[in-house]
Copies of this chain bind each other. A is one copy, B any other.
């Protein structure tokens, strides 16, 4: 049984879903593991991880439209406003999505479904350099 870890840096230029599927798949393949468990972990509280459709990019537009309506920037409900009108909404969006994802590895590949992509979801409007830790265990 072996383990591998690597930090993936995602350069985000504002609020959006960033497709990291190619980087994740390639890293799994390069490890040479045939069977195992891949874990992705994002080290932030205003950006998150999400698995969703990566075929029609309208899905990403609609996902963002939904979260924007559900957790509006500048909501007067919030008292933590010192870091800007999009900061507390970013924490809520992070709470509603994922900080970690687990994906089994079978036959040397992460077992993503046909329409599934792995996304880093940046929730702030500013640019940011986001760190995603990848961990792999198996043989």
Question: Which A residues contact B (CB, under 8 angstroms)?
Answer: 1, 3, 5, 35-37, 39, 41-45, 50-53, 56, 58-59, 61-63, 65-66, 69-71, 77-80, 82, 88, 91-92, 94-104, 106, 111-116, 131, 133, 135, 137-139
Contacts and interface: CB of A to CB of B under 8 A. Distances in A.
Contacts of A50: 95
* Copies of this chain, tallied across the complex: 3
25 contacts: A5-B104, A37-B137, A41-B103, A41-B111, A42-B113, A45-B113, A50-B95, A51-B99, A52-B91, A52-B94, A56-B80, A59-B80, A61-B80, A62-B92, A63-B91, A63-B95, A66-B71, A66-B77, A95-B96, A96-B97, A100-B102, A100-B103, A102-B102, A106-B133, A106-B135
A36 B79 contact: no
Which of A50, A69, A97, A137 counts the most chain B CB atoms within 10 A? Answer: A137
Contacts of A98: 98-99
